[in-house]
Structure formats: C-alpha cells, structure tokens
Amino acid sequence: MRVPLSWLHEYVKPDLDAAALAERLALTGTEVERVVHHGVLSVEGFVIGRVLSAERHPDADRLNVCRVDLGGAEPAQIVCGAPNVAAGQTVAVAQPGAVMPDGTRLRKAKLRGVESAGMILSEPELEIGVERAGIMVLGLDGGKPAPGTPLADVLPLATDVLELEVTPNRPDCLGVYGVAREAHAATGAPLAPAPWSEDVGTGGPVEGAAVAVETDRCKRFMARVFEGVTVGPSPPWLKARLMAAGMRPISNVVDVTNYAMLLTGQPLHAFDLDRVAGGRLVVRDGQAGDELETLDGERRRLDPEMVVICDADGPTSLAGVMGGARSEVHAGTTRVLLESAVWDGPNIQRTSTRLGLRSEASGRYEKGLAPEQAQDALALATRLLVELCGARVAPGTIDVDPPGGRDRTNRTIRLRDARVSGLLGAPVARERSAEILSALGFLVDQADDGLDVTVPAFRRNDVTREADLIEEVARIDGVDKLPATLPASGLAVGRLTPAQRLRRRAADTLAGAGLHEAIGWSWSAPELADRLRLAHDDPRRAAVVVENPMSADHAQMRTTLLGSLLDVARRNVTHGTGDVAIFEAGAVYRPVAGRELPDEPYTVGVLLTGAVRAPSWREPAPPAADFFAAKGVLAALLGALRVAWALEPAGEPFMHPGRAAAIVLGGADGERIGWIGELHPSVAAAWELSGAVAAFELDLDRAIEQVPGPVRYTDYTSFPEVRQDLAVVVPQAVAAAEVVAAVRAAGGPLLARVEVFDVYRGAQVGADEVSLALRLAFRSPERTLTDEEVAERRAAIEAALAEQVGGRIRA
Amino acid sequence: MIERIDALRGEGEAAIAAAATTDALEQARIHYLGRRAELPNLLRGVAQLPPEQRGAVGKAANVARKALEQLIEARGAELAGAELERQLAEDRIDVTLPGAPLPPAGGLHLLNATRREIEDVFVGLGYTVAEGPEVERVYYNFDALNHDPAHPARLRTDTFYVADDVVLRTHTSPMQVRAMEQHPPPIFLIVPGRVYRRDSDATHTPQFHQIEGLAVDEDITLSDLKGTLLAFARAIFGDERQVRLRPHFFPFTEPSVEVDVSCFNCKDGLTREGARCPLCKGTGWIEILGAGMVDPNVFGYVREHGYDPERIQGFAFGMGVERIAFLKHGVSDLRLFYDNDLRFLEQF
Ligand SMILES: [Zn+2]
C-alpha cells in the first residue's frame, strides 16, 4: 500500500517528517517497508509559462522554436519537440538549473544551432501522468495561473510516499483515510472528518436499473446511476495523486473509482449502463460453460466457486476481481452504473489464485471488508463523478443484501483494567486506554472494572475479544516501553533429556574423529531407489510422497541418508575437494501402514572417501578410506555411547558384496540397527565417485535406547591382571570375530579382555591361512590368579580354537 | 712389595686419566684391575706372604685397588656424559620442518552449532527441549493455531502437502499444542527442528530450521517475554544488546510482536567508517523473531488439559536458526547452508 504523504496530510498532519512518522507507525504496528520520494527532488526552477509564439525550427521539421512568457522582462526562447505546442497555451516549464525526477539537471543548450533556455514539460517527465503524445496544456481560469507562478503552487510536483506492509487483519489500512486514523491514534495529531461524510446522492428506489443477488458470497451490493457523463482525462491533481499512489490514470470515470478505492479501501466498479443488457444485473455463482472476457482482454472460463455478475446477455463482470470488457466504460459513455459491493474474502482469494489474476480490488476484497464500507465509498465517488465528470446522479440507491442477510454484528466487549496490567506486566491508565480506543474509532463507555468498548464495523473481523482490545491499547501506548522482566514462578527447571545429551555426544564424537557435519535436504528423488539398486520390495522404496514438490528431485521424503551424503560427496569432489569425511544426523521418514503420520527415526549416516588424513612429509601418501576406516569411526561412535555392538557379514544391494556388514546391537544375533561397508563401484560411479567410498548408517535412537545407565565402578587395583599373547593360525575363511568369540567362550569369566592386535598372511603360514595375534587379559575381582589357573584357561582356549575354528597355535 | 703396589697405583692413575673413551677406560680397568692383572693377583697372593708382612701389604693393595676403582667410576661417568652429548649433537633435527599432523578436528554444521547455542541459553533459563514430528497434521499446524480456514499459508502454493490433512510442518509451532496436550501448566519449552515452506531464493530455502518457545503459567506477561528475549539476545549477540518490540500480527498470538535486536555491526546505523550499516540498513535495529502472548483461542483447543484461557496465560516465540546464524556470521546467501561445501563447513 503506497500512501503519498501529501495526500495523508489532508486528513492528519503530525509534526513529523516522513522518516519519523514511518518509525512511529512501525512501532505501533503498521510496518513501513520503505519511504520513497515521488516526483521532482526540488520544486526550484519549475514555473508556469505562456507560449507567445511557436515557429518551425529552421533546420528541423519536428522542432518548434517558442517564445515563452515566464513572468520575466523578456520572454524565454525554448525549443520544443512536441507536436501539440501552439501559441496561447499555458504550459509547465523547467528552467535551466531545475532537477528532473530522474536526477538530471537541466542546462541551457543548443538544439540544431538554436539556443533553448529550458524545457516545456509533458506529464511523464514530471511523473504526474502517462500522456506521452505531447506537452501538458494547463487550463486557464480568469488569467490564472499567471506566467512565472511556481509550478508547485498549481500541481503536486513532489511528495514522500510511505510504502506500507499491511497485515492481513487490517484491511481498514488499505485506504488512505484508514492510515490517517492510525496515524492520528499513533501521534495524537487531529483527524479531519471522513471524506465521505457529505453525500450528494439520495436513498430510495432507482429507475432504469436493477440488481438481484442470488449468492451469499456477495455480502452487500450497492449501486447508483449517473447520467450525462462526459468521459475524458482527469484533472492534473487527480492524475498526480494516482501516480504517486502507484496507479495509472485512465479516464476521469475510472480514475474516480480508483481514487475512491485508494482513499476508502473499498473497491468500486463503473459499468456503461447502456451496455448492461436489460438494465438489470444478477449476481450469482458461476455455472458450467460460463465464460467472460475481462478488462485485460483475456477470455476466462469460470467455475461454480466463482461469483459472476450477469446481465440479460450473460456474464459481464467477474465479481471482486475484474470487470468485463463488454460493459466497460469507454470514450462515448454517457450513462454509468456505479457498483460498490462487498464480497466474501476467501472466495475472492480463491478466484484470483485460480485464475492467476490479481488486481487492486481483489487484493483488498480477499482480506474481508465490512459491508458498511460500501456506503462510504459510494458517497465519496458520487460527489467526485458529479464534480469531475459533469454527471448528474439519478435519484435513489440500489442496496441489496445477500439471501442470508448481511453481517450487522455490533459487538461490545468489557476491557478490565486488571486484565490489561495482568497480560502486559505493566498498568495502563483507564483514561489512556479510552483515549487510544476512541482515536482508533471504537466507542467507549465507563464500566465498574474497566471500559465497555464497542467495535466499529471496519474492525469487526479483527477485534472480537478482550485480548484483542488489550493489543490495541498496548500497541498504541507502546510495547517498546514495557519493562523487561523474567517469569516469576521459579518453577522452571531446564535440562536436556539423557537421549538429547547422547545425540549431542554422538555428533561430538564424529566431529572429534575429523568428520564434518552436513545438513542435506529431507527430500529425495524417486529414482534414488533405482540408483541404489534397491529390490522392488525393499522397505526403503516406500516413501512419504509430497503432492506439490518444488522439483522432481524433491518429490518424496528420504528413507535413507545415503542419497544426500552421496550428493554432498559428489558436490565436493567435483569442486576439487577429493578427501571427504562427512556425517549427517536427522530424521528419515518411513510410512506406517494404518497411521496418518510416518515414523521419523533419528538416524546417523557417515561417508568417507579419499585419503583418511592429509598427506605430510612423514606420510606423503596416507591410506585411502576403506571399510576399516568406516568401522573405526563406527567403533568410536558406539564406544562413546558405551553400547555393545558387533558386525555380521550381510549385503546391501548398493554395496561391495565382499565388504559389507550389518550393524547389530549387543553380540551376534542382536537387533540390526544399520549397515556398514564400501559402496559398490558402479553405484559410486553414478555419483561420479571413482575411489573407494565407505559409509555406514544406523538408527541412533535404537542405539541410544541400549545405552546402559550410570557405569558402575570396576575394581582394577586390588588384584593384578595377567596379560598373555597368543598367535593362532586359522583358515582364511574364518572371520576374526569367530576366533574372538571362541576365545571368549573358552576363557570364561576370568578372561577380562581379548583383542586382535596383528594379522599376518605370508610365507610363514599356508597359502589359504591367516595368523591372528591375540592379546588376552585374565583377571579375577576376588583374588590374585595363580599360574595354574591362567594356564588352565589358556589350555582351554587353545583347545577351543583347535576344535571350533581349526586353529593351530603358533610358537 | 709395597713399592710395587705404589708403582702400580701410579701407573693405573695415569692410564685412567689418559683414557679418552669409555673403551680405553675399560682397557685400563682390565689391565690394572682385571682377573689377570697384577694388583688383584698381589692381593690374592697375600696369604703366601710371611705373616708379619701380610697386614701391611694387604692393606696397601686394597687401598690401591679401591682408589683405582673410584677413579675409573668417576672417569667413566665423565666420559659417558661427554659421549652422550656428542651422540645427542649428532641426533640434531631440522626443527623447522612441519609437525606431524594430528587428525584434524571436524565440526558441527553451523546451523546445528547455532541451534545448540540457542538451546543452551534457554536450558539455562529453565526450559526443556522437545522435538515434534516434521510430517504433521493440518490440525496441529494450522487449525489449533487459530489459522482461519482460508488463511493463505494453507495454500498449496505455500505449503507442502503429503495428504489432504497432512503437511510438512511450516513452523515448529504445532508442538505448542502437542506439548500442552501432554503436560499441564506450567510449561517452559523450546522446540528446535526442521520446517518447510515453498519458497526459494537468496533469503529463503524451502527447508529451514526454527526454534519455538512456549512459556505458560498463571501470571506470565508480555514484559516477561521482553525480559526473556533480552536475555537471549545478549547471550547470542553480546551483553550490550537491547531489544525492541514492535506490534505485529500472527494468528496464534495476541498481542503479537516482532522483536528487533540493536545492531551489533554499527553505532546508530553508521559503521566505523561512517557508511550506512548494511546489516541493519542504517536503522540500528535488526529483526530477529516473531512472538506474542498465546492467543486465547489456542488455549481453547487444550482447555480440558488444564489450560483455561481465563486462568492461564503465556507467551510464545519463533525464530529462524538460519537467520540467527546468517546475522551472527555474515553468511551472504542462505543456500550456502545446504550446499554443504567443505570449504564452507570447515570455516566454522
Ligand atoms: Zn547496523
């Protein structure tokens, strides 16, 4: 909403410059996006001139050399290119030194060898109209204005303009007078009477025109008939005001409707009454087959949810959005039917969205206007049509309510003093509340414990409860001056839950291990499942589908983090960062049969590719990330959470068949919570990744559920540990985990720890054998172990290795 | 005999003093004190001497041997020290070479680091943290938050739908109602999480992060909101910050405000160089979030859970994590947060 300050000042004139007024409005709830300047920057050098003579330029057919009286001793010589310049005209002149709206400073110049001391102006050059065909010829009334008169005395040359962002609850501020009321309340400056207070029209029946309303989507339909209309250009002041407010002048009749809309917030529409077939309008819902050519020349197909205004020949106007071409006011129009109607806001919004057609009118209607406003705008426009278009207003006013009747709610709400201070945390004097509410147009009566406040029609939808009144008082009195306090109860106890702390710990562990956290999109492409080669019945193919995605790549919710991790890896590799170590922690989305909302398990994914460390002079070629690099990260992650876990060889369709495993909780056969491995090279290639790509993904919430409570202290000082090493040769097919499991089972409770610390393949063992070096630690919490006890356990372990995994002890 | 002992001692002392290396010293030791050396042999032969000589000779030989042993030990320590120094001098390294690199630390994404920073501020103020579902029912996302049925945010041009009555939540506010359904007042809660809107340009990404706040009790006031957000703004942007409330409109709060923080990049809108501050556009204030007193209509949806609008009141606020991070770290384009370029991630 553009509000020219010069226009606003007709109704309220606070002693504040544009910036200060903007700030005051912003702090009372009317956001000012910016303050702009419209028109010339300075009125200096712009004067009235009279053309004394205009003669053809000796060397240029299109130029005239004019002698122009500017009120000085000698007329000025001005070269003018406009075809319509002629002796006797009163014109607007910019003298040398004047600064045009675009910032150029005018100088004396020679045009084809002839001196020119200024410029005779057209409307667009002053930003006060759009007539480009020639210079602006001003009317002359009894010798006035006299040559040399400052142009600013005659035309509105410059104004600051407030660009307001009006919140959807305040359609009353979509008119200049509504903004004036707001400025009046915000600054205390007096408010002039409403411009519609004086109505030159009359009530009662109208002859020669009729309206029927058949739908409740019309909230009120008012109209008047005007005869003897002369369509032509509007006077310069009106054009200038529309231009400053951001609308193009068209013709006096249309300009009057726009002017009244800009001032009152209520849109109007003028029909050429001679083009209303049958002289009768019917307002109804659209029907199948309804079509209409709107003013912009487009043919529109209507649907039953749209409201249309019809005459005897069918649809002639699209209610609340745009008039029809067939009944448009034109140069020869002499009889006008002026519509001032109110429509259902949401319906207008739907229609304008559906048709992709937004207008100044629809933008106002969709916020929901009060039926009472139709009367105000009609009164104002009546006066202007009579004054500016030579029209006579026919007796009577058409005023039709919808079949269900019109909203006449007249609400009175008690505003309790105690409630005001109780909600705000600071008192506001009752007199101050009354003053504020009166300034905003509310009626105020005293009550025992506060005020009885009656809501004006134009705030009917917005103010319905005591809290709404408190907001009105608070915003005008100034929320910025409230004290800053903290809640007093002291009942609040802040903490993170154990699960939240463990999620943080997991992320910190990964970051500490050198990984960077990425945040991918929650969406994925449906083709991702194919690129990951998921089987047709893989549960990860079942996704939550977005009905209106912004792109095909984001058409469904992700069921795995792998897609976004690969996207991030590709992006970095193609941008020259080949060594990537990243993780993401967040939701994946799994539809659940029979439930409205999906599961959103908190999942963590890790991806490594390229060198695991930066090269250095000690290690010029550090190893590339592989399965064991990822497993090391996994061990760090689950170790930090103190969760027991294991890997079981198991494939995933997107992984290297020999380097993949399932992550299980507890020991073997525990619950599967994820996968780990190197990606299948052909899957990695689909993301343009050529080296090994190691990754894992697991359901972190499931892991966190397994985190034991507080760890209990284990005595490590009273009885020493006995450490021994053991080397065992086993067939290559035997997994290290099987060897460890056999050792653990045979070692019994006295075996505190066992770990693999070396792996050897080569000349000293058979071709299909591998030697594992194990470190064993024996300990009893109750006594110091004897050599015999340890030897017995070791013998049992050696026997178990021989028996269960075909192991042979190496000397 | 005694003379011979004295002579051996004299020779030995000279040889020990002359030994220039630990090896030479060892040769000297073997020569004078070794198994086959003369002095020990003299000592061993004392028994064959006439008894009147035994005492004097034995004593003299012993004294001589002890003296030589002490000299060897002292000389040995001297030589070993010198040799160690020589050895260490040869072990000299080029101290100007780079150190062996530790595995470089990774890091949290700037958005999550910021989220944690904000969470910690509110945990300190007595709030708990809850997450809600991102795929949310229209009821919680719009209806129970007092959005009228025609509210434009409900349009498919603005909001992602997965079914007629299920959306990707457009804000973290749905958790207000869910939380009140689960806990009677008082409630002090923040809700961080992902939210979604159909918007994409330099200042909007279709997925972003919000942190919702909700404080409800019998006597929570708009002034308490101001004090709470002042504490927050100072914790995040510095102790000198002020906050300013501006009236605004949101469907689920009444009164509603937008909250500005005093600019930390300038003084009164001017940078140190005297130019108009680009961050606050010369106004001295930066909008950081929307807030307000919970609308009585919202309490109406949870009345039976202990939230009688006549008895209970409170405030709610919602901030964008991207916006806070973007302001605090000067990130030029919000889309950078989702590019996940390591050259970006490594900066924070
Ligand atoms: Zn600034």
- The enclosing domain of B221 has a CATH number of 3.30.930.10
Give the domain-ending residue among B22, B55, B90.
B90
Q: CB distance from A247 to chain B under 8 Å? A: no
Residue B144 maps to a domain: yes
The edge-to-edge listing of strands for the beta sheet with A158-165 is A2-4, A158-165, A31-39
Based on the fold, state whether residues B46 and B150 are members of the same structural domain: no
For residue B265 the two structure tokens come to 């990049």
What number is the average pLDDT over the span A179-200?
95
pLDDT above 70 for A142: no
Site from A344, A548, A633 to mutate, B interface, most B CB atoms within 10 angstroms:
A548
Which residues of chain B neighbour A572 with C-beta distances below 8 Å?
340-342
Report the pLDDT value the prediction gives residue A141, as an integer from 0 to 100: 64
pLDDT of residue B58: 83
Count CB atoms within 10 A of the CB of residue A727: 16
Picking from B151, B254, B310 by the largest number of A CB atoms within 10 A of its own CB, the best residue to mutate is B254
According to the model, what pLDDT value does residue A737 have?
87
List, for residues A428-486, the tens digit of each pLDDT value. 999 999 999 999 999 999 999 999 999 999 999 999 999 999 999 999 999 988 999 99
Range(s) of the domain holding residue B23: 2-90
Do B34 and B167 have their domain in common? no
What pLDDT does residue A345 have?
92
Distance CA A622, CA A251 (A): 80
- Here the tokens at position A579 are 């060594």
Q: Where are the beta strands (DSSP E) in A491-644?
A: 516-517, 523-524, 556-557, 580-587, 602-609
Lowest mean pLDDT among A224-228, A347-351, B328-332: B328-332
* Preceding omega of A749 cis (within 30 degrees of 0): no
Residue A316, judged by CB atoms within 10 A of its CB (0-12, 13-18, 19+), counts as buried
| Residues composing chain A | 811
Cut 0.80: pTM above it: yes
pLDDT at A425 over 70: yes
The closest alpha carbon to B189, from B174, B209, B206, B207, belongs to: B174
pLDDT tens for residues A240-291? 999 999 999 999 999 999 999 999 999 999 999 999 999 999 999 999 899 9
Residues B155 and B44 in one domain: no
A33 Cβ under 8 Å from any chain B Cβ: no
Q: Tell me the CA distances in angstroms from A220 to A159, A385, A399, A407, one per residue in order.
A: 36, 22, 7, 9
Q: Which of B153, B257, B170 is nearest to B210 (CA)?
A: B170
Same domain as B326, residue B268: yes
**d(C-alpha B210, C-alpha B176), whole Å:** 13
Q: Which of B90, B119, B144 is the last residue of a domain?
A: B90
CA distances (Å), origin B233, targets A478, B216, B259, B288, B316 = 21, 21, 10, 9, 16
Shared domain for B173 and B250, answered yes or no, is yes
pLDDT in tens, A649-707: 888 999 999 999 999 998 767 899 999 999 999 999 999 999 999 999 999 999 999 99
Provide the pLDDT for residue A453.
97
- For residue B104, being part of any structural domain is answered with no
- For A545, the closest of B162, B313, B338 (CB atoms) is B162
> Does the residue B51 lie in any domain?
yes
Take residue A653 and report the two structure tokens written for it.
Answer: 């369709």
Give the 3-state secondary structure of residue A616. Answer: coil
Residue A256 C-beta-side C-alpha neighbours within 13 Å: 30
Minimum mean pLDDT among A152-161, A368-377, B192-201: which range? A152-161
Give which of B228, B244, B15, B239 is closest to B127, Cα–Cα.
B228
Q: Does any domain span residue B98?
A: no
> What is the mean pLDDT of the segment spanning B101-123?
93
Q: B42 in a domain, yes or no?
A: yes
pLDDT score for A668: 65
Same domain, yes or no, for B28 and B127?
no
A499 Cβ under 8 Å from any chain B Cβ: no
Q: How far is the CA of B275 from the centre of ligand 1 (A)?
A: 10
Predicted local distance difference test score (pLDDT) of residue A143? 66
Q: Are residues B49 and B124 in the same domain?
A: no
Q: For residue A666, what are its two tokens?
A: 């507890």
Q: Within this chain, do residues B48 and B141 fall inside the same structural domain, yes or no? A: no
Find the angle CA(B325)-CA(B328)-CA(B333) to the nearest 5 degrees: 55
Q: What is the pLDDT of residue A313?
A: 93
pLDDT of residue B91: 85
Cα B276 to ligand 1 centroid, rounded to whole Å: 8
Question: 């903490």: which residue's tokens?
Answer: A495
Note the pLDDT of residue B152.
85
Over residues A93-134, the pLDDT tens digits come to 999 999 988 888 999 888 888 899 999 999 998 888 888 888
- Beta-carbon separation of A575 and B256 below 8 A: no
Please check whether residue B96 lies inside any domain of the structure. no
Residues 577-606 of A with CB under 8 A from B: 577, 580-583, 586-587, 589, 596-598, 600
Specify whether B79 is located in the same domain as B141: no
Considering the domain architecture, whether residues B85 and B126 belong to the same structural domain is answered as no
Structure-model confidence comparison of residues B122 and B40, the more confident one: B122
Residue-wise pLDDT for B142-159, tens only, equals: 999 999 888 889 999 999
Quick one: B136 and B24 in the same domain? no
Q: Which of A306-315, A582-591, B70-79 has the lowest mean pLDDT?
A: B70-79
If pLDDT is split at 50, 70 and 90, which confidence band does A511 have? Answer: very high
Rounded distance from Cα B332 to ligand 1 centre (Å): 16
Residues B29, B77 within the same domain: yes
CA distances from A250 to A232, A272, A295 (A): 9, 15, 13
In a domain, B239, yes or no: yes
Most confident of A272-276, A350-354, B56-60: A272-276
DSSP A543-585: -PBPSS-SSGGGSEE-S-SHHHHHHHHHHHHHTT---EEEEEE
Tens of pLDDT, residue by residue over B244-290, are 999 999 999 999 999 999 998 888 888 888 899 988 888 899 999 99
User: Which residue reads 């562990």 in tokens?
Assistant: A509
The pLDDT of A749-769, averaged and rounded, is 91
Sheet with A751-760: strands ordered across? A751-760, A769-778, A722-731, A808-809
Q: How many other CB atoms sit within 10 Å of the CB of residue B322?
A: 22
CB pairs under 8 A between A and B: 254
**Of A304, A291, A408, A297, residue with least CA distance to A350:** A304
Whether B101 and A587 lie within 8 Å, measured CB to CB: no
pLDDT at A178 (0 to 100):
96
Residue from B115, B162, B172, B261 whose CB has the most chain A CBs within 10 Å, to mutate: B162
In a domain? residue B101: no
Domain count across chain B: 2
Tens-digit pLDDT profile for residues A562-588: 999 999 999 999 999 999 999 999 999
